[in-house]
Structure 1
Amino acid sequence: MRAFALALSLCILAACGRPAAQLQPTPTPAAPSTPTPFGSPSPEASPTPTAAHVFVIVMENHSFAQAMSGPYTAKLAAKYPVATEYHAVTHPSLPNYLALTSGSTWGIADDGYHRLPAGGLGSQLTAAGVEWRAYMEGMSAGCFNSPYPYALKHNPFAYYGSGCPRQVVPFTHFAADMNGEVPRLVWITPGLCHDGHDCATGVADRWLSQIVPKILATSAWQDNGLLLITWDEGVDRNNHVLTLVVHPHPMTRTSSAAYDHYSLLATIEDRLGLPRLGHAVYARAMTDLLQSTQTQSLG
């Protein structure tokens, strides 16, 4: 009988112990290493989207100081907001472009071609019914067969789903589109000379001085539009690059907040009313640089 009572006591103790183990706290999930195809909601409330257009120009391989040595670039920086502590996320070029368009580098550390799942910013825009176009300078034979100065590694949209979206077009379409119906998102990738990759800073700066005024002359930009100009990567491990936040009625001139390519993607997605992708979910959007002198906030 004593043995039976002891066994019964042990059984009761074991049964009571199980729920306590189940009440242990679960670890907080880390930021995702890969983006979801159509985004995840931001943990913070996104600003109310406007009907504004967003323009993006991605330049190449210059430090903050090198980019600022261009006279036209310096002129823009004197007039419009500058993110003074903006850093690229890695080296070399390709994973930075992927970060800008999907919120992840996908673990890629080279400039080769990688077949990624369908998704990214382009697919997100298409699914949401938002008109967009990516203008690739030098693209004369599609995404995969165009010669120099086009570079596939600077066309991130061709990596998602291993296809060439119809919205990715030669840069020769740009001028006509700026004089017509401007897409809600305009992405511009210069060729390997005009982006500063293969040519001097002065050459890239002069190219910007020809292209940016065409954007600023559009009603799409003048009516609450936003132009983001960034450099894909710096020249050292610090990866400190220039990013200009060009909008019509700036109130703030500089921000020393720590921003990166995920911040830029978050800013684009918030602006267009899209859920954030990948690490952009956890990024700080550049709202302090979007403050406007007008009553209606641009952020």
Structure 2
Amino acid sequence: MERGRRHLLVCAGRPGCVLRRTRGRRCDRALRALGGRGPRHRAGDRVRRRPLLEEANAASGNRVVRAVVGVALAALAAVSCSGSAATRTPLPRFDHVLVVVLENKSQASVLGNREAPNFNNFAKHYAVLSRYGGVAHPSLPNYLALVSGSTHGITSDCTTCIVSARNLGDTLERAHLSWKTYAEGLPRPGFTGGSAGPYAKKHVPFLYFRDIVSKPARLRRVVPLRQFARDLAASALPSFSLIVPNLCHDMHDCSVEAGDTWLGGFLSPLLRNRKLSHSVVFVVTDEPATEQASTAVPALALGPTVVPGSRYSSRMSHYGLLRTIEDAWGLPRLGHSAQVRPITGIWR
């Protein structure tokens, strides 16, 4: 067939509807399925003598069917020739993601508990992650899982162990997104000691990664919680914030009521702040106190991006939360986050 010759397609009942020959064998095969010819059939086209209009008119009685099939196949051919679009999860692209981590409580001990009016009010007006569980005991492996997709074989709350692995801080920075940890009771930015009053290093996972603690500029992204209010007022919140209450306010050492009072005081004004109108706050718990690690723990998704009164009922863990953050921002998937699903069905 001569260069630029058109292939006949009968579409929408019009026998003169045509498509130009496309490049590549795969595309030619698609066109042949539509009744056209690719390069391999040029010799046959020389033999073919019937006028195009006569050939089109001979297709009477089947034009409607051919039209529907032709349009569908043409669409498939176009996708095939141009490359498939990447599959995207239906998640908002948040301006900010904040994760607040509570400690050592089962869902049954908080959800519906009269000593936790703030938590239960948030549950009523936002979304409950009803089957969220931990991945291990004790605390530290859960925090590592949350920001790196793995426990890295750690089975204790060690304070001197170091992990050489990629983490969420790495992938955020490579995507030109920012991050910080705001830890209540931390004596000063970058402090690496094991404890200080009600502050505990075991709840601050970024302090365990070699590529963070070995670089002063990155280490200074772990700051006292009092810095949070200043950053918010200055419109300087990072893309990702990990909020770590002290051992009393996270319900580890103190009552549910004490932790709930702190949670209400911290979150209520935050959720009314217009600067976070395209953001989300996750409140999760590292692990249940004594039950199996995967036992459901208190977990919520809060903010204007969440459908009020919704519920995510699929089983999930810290890996699923990490996957949700990664998919929302198009980040590479770390560790076990690649093997689980993100949170869906609760977003506006």
Which category of TM-score, normalised to the shorter sequence, fits these structures?
A: 0.7 to 0.9
Structure 2: distance between partners of 1:44 and 1:107: 32
Can you list the C-alpha shifts for 1:71-99, whole angstroms capped at 9, x where unaligned? 11011001111011111111110000011
Letter in 1 for 2:100: I
Q: CA deviation at 1:46?
A: 4.1
**1:210-221 alignment to 2 at 5 Å?**
210-221=265-276
**1:14-93 alignment to 2 at 5 Å?**
45-47=88-90, 50-68=93-111, 69=113, 70-93=116-139
Checking the alignment, whether the CA contact within 8 Å between 1:82 and 1:289 is kept in structure 2 is: no
Checking the alignment, whether the CA contact within 8 Å between 2:124 and 2:309 is kept in structure 1 is: no
| Aligned match of 1:246 | 302
Task: Describe the shift of the 1:105–1:44 C-alpha distance in structure 2 as closer, same or farther (beyond 3 A).
Answer: farther
| Aligned match of 1:110 | 156
Report whether the alignment pairs 1:127 with 2:170. no
Q: CA deviation at 1:289?
A: 2.2
Checking the alignment, whether the CA contact within 8 Å between 2:105 and 2:297 is kept in structure 1 is: yes
Q: List alignment gaps of at least 5 residues for structure 2.
A: 1-85
| 2:321 corresponds to which of 258, 264, 280 | 264
Helix, strand or coil: the match of 1:259? coil
Task: Describe the shift of the 1:252–1:284 C-alpha distance in structure 2 as closer, same or farther (beyond 3 A).
Answer: farther
Q: CA deviation at 1:66?
A: 1.4
Can you list the C-alpha shifts for 1:229-286, whole angstroms capped at 9, x where unaligned? 0000012115321210113151561122111110001111112221211100111101
Q: CA deviation at 1:49?
A: 5.9
| Aligned match of 2:145 | 99
Q: Percent identity?
A: 39
Q: CA RMSD in A?
A: 1.9
Structure 1: distance between partners of 2:198 and 2:170: 26
Query: Which stretch of structure 1 is more off in the superposition, 90-99 or 132-141?
Result: 132-141
Q: Give the structure, 1 or 2, with the largest relative contact order (CA under 8 Å, sep 6 or more).
A: 1
Q: List alignment gaps of at least 5 residues for structure 1.
A: 1-42, 293-299
Letter in 1 for 2:192: F
| Aligned match of 1:175 | 229
Task: Describe the shift of the 1:195–1:51 C-alpha distance in structure 2 as closer, same or farther (beyond 3 A).
Answer: closer
Structure 2: distance between partners of 1:253 and 1:103: 26
Helix, strand or coil: the match of 1:204? helix
Structure 1: distance between partners of 2:270 and 2:260: 16
Structure 1: distance between partners of 2:180 and 2:117: 29
Normalising by structure 2, we get a TM-score of 0.67
Report whether the alignment pairs 1:144 with 2:201. no
Normalising by structure 1, we get a TM-score of 0.78
The number of equivalent residue pairs is: 248
